[in-house]
Amino acid sequence: MCLSIPSKVTKIDKENNTATVDTMGVSREASLDLMEEDSIKIGDFVLLHIGFIMNKIDEEDALVSLATYKEILEAMDQEELQRTIQESDNCPNG
């Protein structure tokens, strides 16, 4: 199962057309190639898929989604949590 968890943009590299995003405490690079130039700013919340920023989302909606994800994660046992993380790292393109 693929989940698109809201991520906050923390840095933008215009030379490489990438952004650094924070996804629930995990920092990663994401391509801006699918977004209109200068449409993403530091502090924006975005959704990613297979390493690409797909769209910008409203901060209030992002915060509600993040709170829900945190509740789900807290309810999972450690083995289930590890399996979910591994599966999300291998999300198929499609």
Convert the pLDDT of each residue in 15-35 to its tens digit.
999 999 998 888 999 999 999
Dihedral sign (CA 32, 37, 43, 48) = negative
Percent of the chain past pLDDT 90, that is, above it, reads 60
**2 pLDDT higher than 70:** no
DSSP secondary structure letter of residue 20:
E
pLDDT at 33: 97
Q: Which residue has the tokens 């999972």?
A: 76
pLDDT at 38: 92
Burial of 84 (0-12, 13-18, 19+ CB in 10 A): middle
Q: Are 10 and 20 in contact (CB under 8 A)?
A: yes
**54 pLDDT higher than 70:** yes
For the chain, domains (ranges, CATH) are 7-89 (2.30.30.140)
pLDDT at 72: 85
Distances (CA, A) of 89 to 24, 30, 59: 15, 14, 25
Q: Tell me which H or E stretch contains 24.
A: none
> By mean pLDDT, which of 2-6, 54-58, 66-70 is the weakest?
2-6
